[in-house]
């Protein structure tokens, strides 16, 4: 980055803004399409399983279906906070 760019930051080109916006909106719309409407149910069931072991909130599990080349990628993200306590029934024996 030149000194000129530092003092006069250029706006990102509008085409890259368009690309980013499209990728976000299409990822969302594709997940609602036929065949992938199982995502909310999957998310619920995963939550049920995970909470058996660790206490997590509903919004800490994110499930999404994306595309990479010719393959579909099912992405499951579970956020486990540091402070999460094991659910008592399944706590490791002391």
Partner 1 sequence: MGKVIVVTSGKGGVGKTTTSAAFAAGLALRGHKTVVIDFDVGLRNLDLVMGCERRVVFDFINVINGDATLNQALIRDKRIDNLHIFPTSQTRDKDALKREGVDWVMRELRNEFEYIVCDSPAGIEHGALTALYHADAAIIVTNPEISSVRDSDRIIGILAAKSRRAEKRESPVEEHLLLTRYSPERVKKGEMLSVEDVKEILSLPLLGIIPESPTVLKASNTGMPVILDPASPAGRAYEDAVARFIGEQREMRFVLPERRSLLRGWFGRAAS
CB of 9 to partner 1, least distance (A): 15
- The reply on whether position 5 binds partner 1 by CB under 8 A is no
- Residue 86 is classified by DSSP as B
Is 41 one of the binding residues for partner 1 (CB under 8 A)? no
Q: What is the DSSP letter of 33?
A: S
- The smaller minimum CB distance to partner 1, of residues 36 and 87, is found at 36
Give the count of beta carbons closer than 10 Å to the beta carbon of residue 78. Answer: 13
Count other C-beta atoms under 10 Å from residue 63's C-beta.
19
- Chain residues in the site for partner 1 (CB under 8 A): 13-16, 18-19, 21-23, 25-26, 29-30, 33-35, 67, 69-70
């Amino acid at each position: 980055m030149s000194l000129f760019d530092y003092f006069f930051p250029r706006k990102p080109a509008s085409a890259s803004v368009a690309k980013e916006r499209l990728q976000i909106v299409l990822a969302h719309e594709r997940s609602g399409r036929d065949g992938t409407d199982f995502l909310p149910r999957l998310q619920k069931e995963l939550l049920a399983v995970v909470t058996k072991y660790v206490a997590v909130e509903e919004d800490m599990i994110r499930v999404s279906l994306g595309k990479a080349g010719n393959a579909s990628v099912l992405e499951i993200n579970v956020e486990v906070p540091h402070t999460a306590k094991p659910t008592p029934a399944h706590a490791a024996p002391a």
